[in-house]
A and B are shown apart, each in its own frame.
Chain A
């Protein structure tokens, strides 16, 4: 600190600054910029782009396709079967994990770094920070889904081919009809994926621990799968966040049925609203004492 410091200080404190207040979009840009600097987020996006290509190559090279899995038996017959196989598999724990990598960490990392006090003593409110982090998490989850879908469908149709696809009731879907259905099937994962993002956000806010925020949604997803596979729990199964991941089955039957799709949307919306409401209330009320 030099002799000219006080002169500089006076200069720094020059009055007449433009007093524009930052809004939620500013807070969102702040969060996205931090996210872009994190190796974990970048590698997850890169992995979502490259892993499906590897997976398609490996599965395509296998003599015996995974027959216990829906569409597993058809992967050599049509390039449209592989994306549906991957979709069914990803719903088990990959989707919850991929979204939790960011959403489960995004609030808790401020606790980990002790930076809540740094952020919340500027000109943005807790509400703005909450929405910035939540929207950033959803944008990340949607990016991951988009990359996985694009990469799997492109790789599979290039490597296996664009043959007709056998529907779930045995009907034959020509290539031009199969592609939109495959795309729509992947799109049905959007709602439950956002639901799991909200679960991860809630765990991240409540636990203040990134490990809980990231692992928690995966465990919850697996437990829901298990509960869903047990007999006699139909009412419960209906309300599980993992059930909407299967709603695309209705798109691939001869007579399409949209009941599970609508149910899936409602159930996902319910989970999302409840988790975000609780997370918001907890963040609004909590004392920031760490750091």
Chain B
């Protein structure tokens, strides 16, 4: 892959009046990489991606996309870039196919010859002549992916592509994004769901109210994640709670009519065996929160001091 970064943001800032939506964000995405931008609602993910597409102007910092900038290159800064922001929008009074034909016209080149193939890729072939106004949310989302693929992008930017989809839709969208990522495209994926990015992304930037709270690989993040928390229900929770006392590496708390059990898998195994040996019946045991998810909440909800100290949270330190 080329040396030119797919995305190179340095100290990018965007203010809406008194509110700083993006506050000095730096980010470097190499070509061929699958990169996640994670953050809760209002973290500034969409605002950052809007600047990347030139839809809004940064108040400070520099932003290069595939080596081009908006100030210098104008619309050419979008050559090789495609994707969508929030839910994709089309003209509801036109069919999916006509919408794609219109967009292909605005792309120029041989984009119009790709319409059938991209419709096929997102499984919309049978419904392409229906008006978009009659499409389900999931169909519009898939049409958004098709519209992006029309441009034969080198960098595909997807802003919460699974947002608002039903479970089957989420599964299909994740599979599609996974396949696109595997095909060698550079993918920049924003999400508020750790589970969505941890499977397919190599690197992530975690944002919180406009600032970066973590930059780095998923692998590093995983090493720093707290131990998994389980929800346990037994025939006698009081006795089970008493059995936990003094066990090393294990915390058990009474919580909402059940027990919250946190510890390494070995410690949890030993504790459960003891509970059963004591004559108590296990009624339910479920993973309450995936470890990475717990870390994500810690990073984005709690004060910075409670975050594991070894995590590199400086934007410049995490990436070469």
Contacts and interface: CB of A to CB of B under 8 A. Distances in A.
Contacts of B94: 34, 37
A235 interface: no
Interface in A191-242: none
B114 A12 contact: yes
Interface residues of A, number: 43
Interface residues of B, number: 53
A288 interface: yes
A146 to B, nearest CB: 26
Contacts of B103: 118-119, 122
Contacts of A8: 117, 120-121
B43 to A, nearest CB: 16
Contact of B91 (A34, A121, A288): A34
Nearest to A132: B106
Interface stretch (A15-23, A159-167, A171-179, A250-258): A15-23
B106 A119 contact: yes
Contacts of A158: none
Contacts of A282: none
A288 B52 CA distance: 12
A58 interface: no
Contact of A5 (B57, B81, B84, B179): B179
A222 B302 CA distance: 60
A9 B91 contact: no
B176 A5 contact: yes
Contact of B55 (A10, A12, A125, A287): A287
Contacts of A12: 114, 117-118, 121, 149, 152
B50 to A, nearest CB: 7
Interface string B101-118: 011011111110010011
Given A37-B94, A38-B93, A113-B89, A6 B74 contact: no
B107 A123 contact: yes
Contacts of A20: 108-109
A285 to B, nearest CB: 8
Contact of A288 (B56, B83, B185): B56
B179 A6 contact: yes
B120 A29 contact: no
A122 B75 CA distance: 8
B123 to A, nearest CB: 6
Interface string A1-40: 1100110111111110111111000110110011001100
A27 B102 CA distance: 9
A9 B55 contact: no
A9 B183 contact: yes
Nearest to A5: B179
Contacts of B172: 1
A62 interface: no
A113 B91 contact: yes
A124 interface: yes
Nearest to B123: A1
Interface centre among A10, A11, A121 (most CB of B within 10 A): A121
Interface centre among B54, B85, B105, B151 (most CB of A within 10 A): B105
Contacts of A63: none
B75 A124 contact: yes
A38 B56 CA distance: 30
Contacts of A122: 78, 103, 106-107, 151
30 contacts: A1-B123, A5-B176, A5-B179, A9-B149, A9-B183, A12-B114, A12-B121, A12-B149, A15-B152, A17-B152, A20-B108, A21-B109, A27-B106, A29-B105, A30-B105, A34-B94, A37-B98, A115-B91, A118-B147, A121-B55, A122-B78, A122-B151, A123-B78, A123-B79, A125-B74, A287-B50, A288-B55, A289-B50, A289-B55, A291-B89
Given A115-B89, A118-B147, 14 more contacts: A1-B122, A13-B149, A13-B152, A13-B183, A18-B110, A26-B105, A37-B93, A117-B89, A121-B53, A121-B81, A122-B107, A124-B106, A287-B55, A289-B56
